[in-house]
């Protein structure tokens, strides 16, 4: 009986952790609503990209991949924790949505419990839709 309870408890803990982690695809209008609600927007592009296109107002600039495609996931997650609450919502954006999708999936695979709003088509779509950006400091 104790063994069944232990197996059930372990199974429940594993499944319940995955219930909280979720990726939700969002478009520009939904991003605007989320920003109004105070959801942090994490721009994972490089510094050069931020200066090239500008960034969305109130974005948190936190590069994930360096110019050579390298990354330090644990360090990045530590830095993210300074901006966004674990178990809380966060918007992840890159140039076109490809890298931000990779990062979002990595967060889920590593069992982090963020509710991730993935900016499906990235900053490129934001700009093409006539939305404003500004040059970072």
122 located within any domain? yes
Q: Could you tell me the residue range of the domain that residue 52 belongs to?
A: 17-128
Check which CATH number belongs to the domain holding 65 and give it.
3.40.250.10
**Percent of the chain whose predicted confidence (pLDDT) is above 70:** 85
Q: Which pTM was predicted?
A: 0.83
79 located within any domain? yes
95 located within any domain? yes
3 located within any domain? no
**Percent of the chain whose predicted confidence (pLDDT) is above 90:** 76
Tally of domains in the chain: 1
Residues 30-54: tens digit of each pLDDT: 999 999 999 999 999 999 999 999 9
C-alpha triplet 101, 105, 111: angle, nearest 5°? 150
36 located within any domain? yes
Closest alpha carbon to 43 in 92, 85, 98, 102 = 92
Residues 65-78: tens digit of each pLDDT: 998 999 999 999 99
């Amino acid at each position: 009986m104790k063994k069944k309870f232990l197996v059930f408890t372990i199974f429940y803990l594993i499944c319940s952790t995955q219930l909280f982690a979720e990726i939700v695809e969002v478009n520009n209008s939904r991003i605007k609503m989320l920003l109004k609600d105070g959801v942090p927007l994490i721009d994972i592009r490089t510094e050069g990209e931020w200066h090239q296109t500008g960034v969305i107002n109130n974005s948190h600039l936190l590069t994930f991949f360096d110019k050579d495609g390298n990354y330090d996931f644990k360090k990045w997650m530590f830095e993210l924790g300074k901006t966004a609450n674990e178990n809380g919502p966060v918007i992840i954006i890159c140039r076109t949505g490809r890298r931000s999708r990779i990062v979002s999936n990595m967060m889920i695979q590593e069992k982090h419990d963020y509710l991730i709003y993935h900016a499906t088509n990235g900053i490129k779509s934001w700009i093409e839709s006539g939305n404003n950006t500004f040059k970072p400091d």
